[in-house]
Amino acid sequence: MKLPIEFLNKMNRLLGDKEYGEFIDSFNKPRFYGLRVNTLKINLDDFQRITPFKLRPIPWVKDGFYFSEKDFPGRHPYYHAGLYYIQEPSAMYPGSVADARPGERILDLCAAPGGKSVQLAAGLNGKGLLVANDISSDRVKALVKNIELCGVKNAVVTNETPDNLARRFGAFFDKVIVDAPCSGEGMFRKDEAAARSWNNFKSDKCTAMQRDILDNVDKLLRPGGSLIYSTCTFAPEEDEMMISEFLDKHNDYEICPIPKSGGIADGRPDFADGNQGLRNTSRLWPHLLEGEGHFTAMLKKTENADNDKSYSLKFNQIKNDALDEFHRFASANLNCDIEGRFELKGNNLYCIPYETPSLDGLRVAKFGWYLGEFNRGKFEPSHSMVISLKKEDIKNVVNLSSDSKEVLSYLKGETLMQDCDTTGLTCISVDGYTLGWAKFTGGVFKNLYPKGWRRMS
């Protein structure tokens, strides 16, 4: 692999000859592949019982596993059922450090494509609020899709700048996760294009963005809350030095110790100003563990920090006739009650977490759990609804085997021919896990799997 000379010289100065040699050797070794089990849809024991892949645990995350490059889990029906998320193993570490708990209010500030967001959502387990934001309108589309694929009900997705979020929310969040835009040096082995484009995204171009983001995070985090900062770069300017600079400007924060296992190393005070507290940060080096390069720090804001804690809750009353139509649909098709705060955006119906403040003035890509739309007064359920429910929650279900031709036909959007007792709207499941909708009439299932999600082969 060809790496930029300036980068190599810098790493040699930082690491010294012996460790530098080990570091460079790691770029000639194969990369590692990982998936994280989505515990919103399946528990670890059940997944390990049904998985067709040979897996090894990833040491720093309880629900993460290495898989073989030859397995292609992205092509398996379980992927389309949202049973796991495919993610580089080191990238799972910041979400594990965040340790989301039910009931918390969490902001994932630089969230696309969504790996950390769905990891945080699994920790919340449907309780509390996740706001997943990305400034890129193109990247936010993938973020919405991955949140829906994993069956997340309590997430709002925004497409905003950090300062606009700070003006709207104030010091609202218990935890803010910043996977900061960076020079990407830790991804060189995974993506050679990152090495080729390094001169366009060097540290001096990224640090200004990181400073601005962190200054706004301070306005978004409640007293006593936690900031989790991560990058996928080795550059001290974006890692230890950025944390040290933030602490100099914000003396109401302290660095917290975080779990380290599987070869994760301490942060390097000698890369910054010698602050020994930086040892509590973490570095994931590719020559010391089975993963790519990452840096992670967790900072706690003192309880008596002086922030504006005000925010406003604004509920839009849904029209009774629309809500009555939805309840008629639910009574006819579901075995469960859908509870929450219902809001109508145009013809689209959402169930929004109670903790959500007013979103007026923000660019919102997803207001919560998207349930469906009203078409000429009739409610039509969304794919987001069915993929977020359990098989037992739905009255009409046809279960397909993961190794059947029928499940592949369904994922391609093809019509299914089945002998069954059901009629009308039906959930298609794979090995007992919801996959999508179909409508049964005249011995034929009309395929309702979303066109943009269908497999081509």
Q: Give just the sign of the alpha carbon dihedral 74, 76, 79, 83.
A: negative
Per-residue pLDDT at 194 exceeds 90: no
Q: Of the residues 110, 182, 206, 232, which is catalytic?
A: 232
CA dihedral 326, 327, 331, 332 (to 10 degrees): -30
The pTM for the full model equals 0.95
* Strand 282-284, strand 294-301: pairing: antiparallel
Which letter does DSSP use for residue 189 in this model? T
Nearest to 281 by CA among 325, 322, 323, 231: 231
Per-residue pLDDT at 18 exceeds 90: yes
Per-residue pLDDT at 154 exceeds 90: yes
Per the annotation, the verdict on 232 as an active-site residue is yes
Lowest mean pLDDT among 102-111, 164-173, 297-306, 381-390: 297-306
Over the chain, what is the mean pLDDT?
94
Q: According to the model, what pLDDT value does residue 190 have?
A: 87
b/e code 265-276 from CB counts within 10 Å (16+ = b): eebbbebbeeee
3-state class of 196 per DSSP? Answer: helix
- Separation between Cα atoms, residue 315 and residue 129, nearest integer Å: 16
pLDDT confidence bin for 457, thresholds 50/70/90: confident
- Separation between Cα atoms, residue 85 and residue 127, nearest integer Å: 20
The domains of the chain, with CATH numbers, are: 5-301 (3.40.50.150), 394-457 (3.10.450.720)
- Averaged pLDDT, 354-364: 92
Q: According to the model, what pLDDT value does residue 305 have?
A: 59
Percentage of residues in the chain having pLDDT higher than 90: 86
b/e code 63-102 from CB counts within 10 Å (16+ = b): bbbbbeeebebeebbbbbbbbbbebbbbbbbbbbbbebee
Q: According to the model, what pLDDT value does residue 307 have?
A: 54
Per-residue pLDDT at 31 exceeds 90: yes
pLDDT confidence bin for 322, thresholds 50/70/90: confident
- Separation between Cα atoms, residue 59 and residue 66, nearest integer Å: 10
Residues 219-269 pLDDT 10s: 999 999 999 999 999 999 999 999 999 999 999 999 999 999 999 999 999
Q: According to the model, what pLDDT value does residue 114 have?
A: 97
- Averaged pLDDT, 320-345: 92
- Averaged pLDDT, 94-117: 98
Per-residue pLDDT at 312 exceeds 70: no
Q: Give just the sign of the alpha carbon dihedral 84, 87, 92, 94.
A: negative
pLDDT confidence bin for 199, thresholds 50/70/90: confident
Contact 288, 263 (CB under 8 A): yes
- Separation between Cα atoms, residue 248 and residue 253, nearest integer Å: 10
Q: According to the model, what pLDDT value does residue 201 have?
A: 75
Per-residue pLDDT at 317 exceeds 90: no
Contact 159, 140 (CB under 8 A): yes
First-residue to last-residue Cα distance in the chain: 32
Q: Which residue has the tokens 């969304």?
A: 382
Residue 359, C-beta contacts closer than 8 angstroms, at least 6 positions apart: 156, 158, 168, 367
- Averaged pLDDT, 132-156: 97
- Averaged pLDDT, 168-188: 95
- Averaged pLDDT, 393-419: 93
Per-residue pLDDT at 315 exceeds 80: no
What's the angle, vertex CA 148, arms to CA 398 and CA 171, rounded to 5? Answer: 150
Lowest mean pLDDT among 165-169, 196-200, 227-231, 398-402: 196-200
CA distances in angstroms from 248 to 215, 228, 242, 254, listed in the order given: 12, 17, 10, 11
397-400, strands of its sheet edge to edge: 397-400, 424-430, 433-441, 444-447, 416-417
Per-residue pLDDT at 211 exceeds 70: yes
Task: Look up residue 265 and give its two tokens.
Answer: 């190393």
Cβ count within 10 A of residue 372: 20
- Separation between Cα atoms, residue 22 and residue 437, nearest integer Å: 52
